[in-house]
Amino acid sequence: MLITRRHAVGLGAGAAIGSATLALAGNQRVAAAPQTTQEAAGYQTQPSGDQRCALCAHFLPPSSCQVVQGAIVPNGWCKLFKAKSS
């Protein structure tokens, strides 16, 4: 089969787009911070004063967290608490 210049340019463009897509996907994975353990975060199942997981920017209802591993109680607390912006 004879490969024309037009076909070769099309293959090159497809390869470039594919490479760029993979590079961007790889950067997104690197940008996501790894979760820390509950012990390292000082997680507890009781609130600390007015601070509790349900009011934290990292909390993912119903029972997850962006930065702490494992099941999270909405009424819990850890030292990584960050108040939701209003």
Give tens-digit pLDDT for 67-84: 999 999 999 999 999 999
Write down the domain spans for the chain: 1-32, 34-86
Does the domain made of 34-86 have the CATH classification 3.40.50.1980? no
Task: Specify the pLDDT at position 5.
Answer: 72
pLDDT tens readout for residues 21-30: 555 555 444 4
Q: What does the DSSP assignment read for 25-81?
A: HHHHHHHSPPPBPHHHHT-BSS-BTTB-GGGBTTEETTTEESSB-S---TT-B-TT-
pLDDT tens readout for residues 31-50: 467 899 999 999 999 999 99
> pTM for the complete prediction?
0.61
Mean pLDDT computed over 2-21:
61
Q: How many angstroms separate the CA atoms of 44 and 76, rounded?
A: 6
Question: Which amino acid would we find at residue 9?
Answer: V
User: DSSP alpha helices (H): ranges in 32-82?
Assistant: 38-41
Task: Specify the pLDDT at position 16.
Answer: 55
